């Protein structure tokens, strides 16, 4: 049985899926992995199939295959060995089936543009995959039509956060991008409750020392990453903010980052355990593309 890992990218002919295909192609080429491109016909069309004869149904599928092939050719040319899949059914279920079938390492999807009023425009499929797909998920913005130039990795010193930093370093090496490691430090005047609102905490007098120690720790991590991956431009920062989510968001805007990489904390498919408030808020409001890394023991099943 072939268990070769692959890169899976979903396309719907939009600008963001075109850029997702470009990003997926770079990753596949860099890691010498097969690239699988899939398109899902919507459920309304599936319902119409019941009223069609076999010849008409097959004609629609053939047309879709040709359209996908043309989309790929127009986006990345013909010098690529790409498997294509055109499928009918529930998009999320089909995506999970493709992940299992092709032993997917990374799922790449397009994501709409940023607006300060309504956020990331993450679609329903992308949102569910970030939550529940058992692989890392890269969401690519509709304006990201070039290699990443400025990558931010979020550090909280957890095991999965460390994995996210290493993945960010691989991408920085691949695209010759700048890499910055950031850690958000919440001053003792604030505390984030389980309900997501801010309340007073017991005052501490050691904030300056704590932040200085954190700066040294993150800077040391950045130096080791730069050496391990031979990266010439790795920096670090510890950001003081009342909320982790807000601190990261402000940093991404200030740095004009085009990709943020962060680890999720959940290990099951239960919504309440999945991303946590920080990652959940960032995915819907981040001003750039985002790569989410799941824990190694993450699992999700439709059954």
Residue of 122, 193, 180, 138 lying closest to 7 (CA atoms): 138
3-state helix, strand, coil split of the chain in percent (to 5) is 45, 25, 35
Q: Given this model, what pLDDT does residue 43 score?
A: 63
Is residue 191's pLDDT more than 70?
A: no
CA distance 151 to 134: 23
- Residue 40, helix vs strand vs coil: strand
Mean pLDDT value of segment 182-187 = 86
Domains along the sequence of the chain with CATH: 1-142 (3.40.50.620), 147-303 (3.40.50.620)
Is residue 22's pLDDT more than 50?
A: yes
Mean pLDDT value of segment 261-279 = 54
Whole-number average pLDDT of the chain: 82
Q: Given this model, what pLDDT does residue 131 score?
A: 83
pLDDT digits (tens, 9 = 90+) for 94-120: 999 999 999 999 999 998 755 444 445
pLDDT digits (tens, 9 = 90+) for 201-228: 445 445 678 888 999 999 999 999 999 9
Q: Given this model, what pLDDT does residue 194 score?
A: 41
pTM value is 0.86
Is residue 57's pLDDT more than 80?
A: no
Q: Given this model, what pLDDT does residue 48 score?
A: 63
> What share of the chain in percent tops pLDDT 90?
50
Diameter over CA atoms, the chain = 76
More confident residue, 21 or 209: 21
Is residue 123's pLDDT more than 50?
A: yes
18-36 as b/e: b if 16+ CB within 10 A: bbbbbbbbbbbeeeebbbb
pLDDT digits (tens, 9 = 90+) for 58-80: 788 888 999 999 999 999 987 67
More confident residue, 23 or 200: 23
Residue of 149, 113, 139 lying closest to 289 (CA atoms): 139
């Amino acid at each position: 049985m072939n268990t070769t890992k692959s890169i899976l990218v979903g396309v719907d002919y939009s600008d963001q899926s075109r850029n997702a295909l470009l990003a997926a192609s770079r990753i596949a080429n860099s890691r010498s992995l097969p690239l699988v491109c899939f398109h899902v016909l919507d459920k309304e069309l599936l319902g119409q199939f019941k009223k069609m004869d076999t010849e008409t149904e097959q004609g629609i599928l053939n047309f879709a295959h040709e359209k996908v092939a043309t989309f790929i050719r127009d986006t990345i040319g013909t010098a690529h060995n790409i498997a294509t899949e055109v499928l009918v059914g529930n998009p999320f279920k089909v995506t999970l089936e493709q992940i299992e079938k092709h032993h997917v390492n990374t799922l790449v999807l397009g994501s709409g543009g940023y607006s300060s009023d309504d956020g990331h425009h993450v679609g329903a499929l992308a949102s569910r995959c970030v939550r529940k797909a058992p692989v890392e998920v890269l969401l690519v913005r509709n304006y990201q039509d070039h290699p990443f130039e400025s990558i931010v990795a979020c550090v909280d010193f957890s095991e999965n956060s460390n994995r996210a930093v290493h993945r960010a370093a691989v991408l920085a090496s691949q695209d010759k991008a700048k890499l910055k490691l950031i850690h958000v430090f919440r001053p003792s005047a604030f505390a984030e409750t389980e309900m997501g609102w801010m309340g007073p905490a017991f005052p501490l007098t050691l904030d300056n020392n704590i932040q200085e120690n954190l700066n040294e720790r993150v800077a040391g991590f950045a130096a080791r990453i730069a050496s391990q991956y031979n990266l010439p431009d790795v920096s670090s920062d510890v950001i003081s903010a009342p909320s982790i989510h807000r601190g990261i968001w402000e940093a991404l805007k200030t740095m004009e980052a085009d990709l943020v990489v962060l680890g999720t904390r959940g290990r099951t498919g239960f919504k309440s355990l999945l991303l946590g408030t920080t990652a959940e808020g960032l995915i819907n409001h981040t001003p750039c593309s985002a790569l989410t890394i799941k824990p190694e023991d993450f699992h999700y099943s439709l059954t």
